[in-house]
Structure 1
Amino acid sequence: MRLAILFAAALAAFPAAAFDLQGHRGARGLAPENTLGGFEQALAIGVDTLELDLVMTADDVLVVHHDLTLNPDLARGPDGGYVVEETPIRALTLEEVKTFDVGRVRAGTDYARRFADQITRDGARIPTLAEVLERAAALGADHVRFNIETKIQPNRPDLSPSPDAFATAIADLVRAHGLVERVTVQSFDWRTLDALAAIAPEIARACLTAEGRWDTVQVGAPGPSPWLGGRDADDLGGDVPALVAQAGCAVWSPNHHDVDDARLAAAKEAGLAVIPWTVNELADMRRLVDMGVDGIITDYPNRLRALLVERGVETAPQVRVPTR
């Protein structure tokens, strides 16, 4: 009974929309990821949701960064050199985190080749979650939602706070900014989602899954997956949408390669919104829009918005961002 109540509360917090265009890490294909400039770029294009990643510093500040350690392809120290040694964010204070420049991709790397159109913004710093929320408010983006991913790994507890501490810090900050109705928390590690369900059931949750070379669901493996908060997908016959619904999430966010008509229908039958990640090619966008997914997470929100406009789908307003 309690699970049903929590699921209903989360679903109510995630409003239905014509289509949820989510800018992945802001607009990673166009601007430095998870930076204020990147989020401004996404808002200027016109997204419904800013998708971002969250880690915690040594002094317990929530900062927006994809990896649990500084990325050697992105982070440059005060001397201008890219980091070489593994440097956990959890081992750095906020003051130390702010000394790293993440506005220029290291030349010659796979990352640089994948995102050759990304504009360099030297001087970009890793923002706090509070700074991102405040910047969106300052720009008048009162329509935009925030899809916040907790970066935590069950096999590396030293690199992140406990699931309860992580969920509590997020809930406190979201409530303090009055954004409960505009925030979804997502994770591959469902322990943080379970903790959030107990701490703040009014905040919507999205269950992320991966079933490819990196597999968080682990159908057919003995025992529960460490990523699923003690759940075993085989108990439900490998039915991932059913597993997500059982976990109380309002949204299922699978790798876009894992979505087919049958799974989409099953998810809709279970009352789930389906928002795949990370979709960058127009052919894949067209396929998924035609299938009837509820949204898409993309590094290129400009491409997806153009497709939606072409199809006559309602899109979010474009935010005017002052020229720097």
Structure 2
Amino acid sequence: MTFTGETVELHGHRGARGLLPENTLPGFAHALALGVDAIEFDVGLTADDVVVCNHDQFLSPVNTADTGPVRPGDPLFPYVGKALRDLTLAQVRTVDAGTRRGHHDEDPFVLTQLPVPGTPLPTLAEVCAMLSAAPGVGLSVELKTDPDWPDPEVTRFTAAVAEVLAAFGVTARSKLLAFDWRVLVEARRYAPDAGRVALIRRDTTVPETAWFAGLDHVDPPGAALDIGATALAPEMELASPLLVERAQRLALPVCVWTLNDPADMTRYVGYGVDAIVTDYPDRLRTVLTANGLPVPPPVSPATIPVPN
């Protein structure tokens, strides 16, 4: 991600969460077919140390459902609601992540997301294999930790992610994202060729925050630069023109999330942000085109390997 003022990168949030199931291979494939600069997705670590895609540190009933135990009498079943770190890959694989559940008054994605029943949560290795067929698309990998994690666990997780990226030769076009900035410190050690994106939201920028790895909350762009970040990713409510200008003066590109309303997209294009994360890549493509900005080329579905 580089800022020029003449382009705004399009990042598909959890693939294309507004259109297909989040953090799944069908969702990623759809984002590629629409045309995105990068795919943003979330990862966690299973009990047997496999990196898998999942937004929360547990299996949420909003986007996952049990289908049956991995073996009769498994004491951990049902798996939905359990911490990902307590489940093996085999247990996680039984879960159906292809249908969103919830009431549309609270979850608009229920109305717009096309279900793909029977879809599992993929491993990071499977995602890397898919994106190897789309060399022009970046990987924005968010590592889900929090300040309660012991330092050795943060190190272990970050190293595991870096190992998978390196195995598929995609480190240089990957960025590691985290609210817990200890991840960025470890990413510099284990994946020095990858980008490091400092995520911020309102509850992580409070006084005496535990999220910034001991740095001051008063100047998030300055703190991000000090921690070794290569980009800043604020939530929309924090991404004021002043913050955007401050970050860019420090040579930190600004990637704002998560914009789904075309009016918001247009406003932040006007602020001069460097990238926009959206659940609806199709909408952002329309906005960018209307503003005379280039859009990334679609990737032919025929070239995208999607395992059954």
Answer yes or no: same fold by TM over 0.5. Answer: yes
C-alpha displacement at 1:293, in angstroms? Answer: 0.3
In structure 2, the partner of 1:227 is 211
| Runs of at least 5 residues in structure 2 that lack an aligned partner in the other structure | 70-76
CA distance in 2, matches of 1:84, 1:125: 13
2:117 counterpart (118, 122, 145): 122
CA distance in 2, matches of 1:103, 1:111: 19
C-alpha displacement at 1:318, in angstroms? Answer: 0.4
CA distance in 1, matches of 2:48, 2:2: 34
Q: Confirm or deny that 1:310 pairs with 2:298.
A: no
Q: Confirm or deny that 1:47 pairs with 2:36.
A: yes
* Letter of the 1:168 counterpart: A
CA distance in 1, matches of 2:79, 2:158: 31
In structure 1, the partner of 2:131 is 136
**Residues 206 and 250 of structure 1 are in contact (CA less than 8 Å); yes or no, is this contact kept in structure 2?**
yes
The 3 A distance-change label for structure 1 pair 16 and 142 is farther
In structure 1, the partner of 2:27 is 38
DSSP 3-state at the match of 1:143 = coil
CA distance in 2, matches of 1:244, 1:54: 22
CA distance in 2, matches of 1:39, 1:161: 31
1:175 counterpart (160, 163, 166): 166
CA distance in 2, matches of 1:124, 1:61: 18
Q: Confirm or deny that 1:92 pairs with 2:80.
A: no
DSSP 3-state at the match of 2:258 = coil
C-alpha displacement at 1:15, in angstroms? Answer: 4.9
Q: Confirm or deny that 1:270 pairs with 2:250.
A: yes
* Letter of the 1:304 counterpart: L
In structure 2, the partner of 1:190 is 181
In structure 2, the partner of 1:72 is 61
The 3 A distance-change label for structure 1 pair 311 and 42 is same
CA distance in 2, matches of 1:192, 1:279: 25
**Residues 24 and 119 of structure 2 are in contact (CA less than 8 Å); yes or no, is this contact kept in structure 1?**
yes
In structure 1, the partner of 2:204 is 216
Q: Confirm or deny that 1:151 pairs with 2:129.
A: no
C-alpha displacement at 1:127, in angstroms? Answer: 0.2
In structure 1, the partner of 2:73 is none
| Runs of at least 5 residues in structure 1 that lack an aligned partner in the other structure | 1-13
Give the structure-1-normalised TM-score: 0.85
DSSP 3-state at the match of 1:228 = coil
1:164 counterpart (155, 164, 168): 155
CA distance in 2, matches of 1:292, 1:320: 30
C-alpha displacement at 1:26, in angstroms? Answer: 0.2
Q: In the TM superposition, what whole-angstrom CA distance separates every residue of 1:41-99 from its partner, at most 9, and x where no partner exists? A: 1101100000000100111000010011001112111159x968630111111111000
CA distance in 2, matches of 1:216, 1:266: 19
Give the structure-2-normalised TM-score: 0.90
Superposition CA RMSD, Å: 2.2
* Letter of the 1:65 counterpart: N
In structure 2, the partner of 1:5 is none
CA distance in 2, matches of 1:123, 1:113: 22
Structure 1 vs Structure 2: percent identity of aligned residues? 37
* Letter of the 1:124 counterpart: T
C-alpha displacement at 1:176, in angstroms? Answer: 1.4
In structure 2, the partner of 1:7 is none
In structure 2, the partner of 1:10 is none
CA distance in 2, matches of 1:16, 1:269: 11
In structure 2, the partner of 1:281 is 261
* Letter of the 2:215 counterpart: R
**Residues 70 and 83 of structure 1 are in contact (CA less than 8 Å); yes or no, is this contact kept in structure 2?**
no
In structure 2, the partner of 1:254 is 234
CA distance in 2, matches of 1:86, 1:45: 33
CA distance in 1, matches of 2:141, 2:158: 11
CA distance in 2, matches of 1:261, 1:116: 33
CA distance in 2, matches of 1:187, 1:259: 17
Q: In the TM superposition, what whole-angstrom CA distance separates every residue of 1:86-141 from its partner, at most 9, and x where no partner exists? A: 3011111111100000111124365644441100100110000110111122xx31
C-alpha displacement at 1:291, in angstroms? Answer: 1.0
Aligned ranges 1:230-241 → 2 under 5 Å: 230-233=214-217, 238-241=218-221
**Residues 98 and 116 of structure 2 are in contact (CA less than 8 Å); yes or no, is this contact kept in structure 1?**
yes
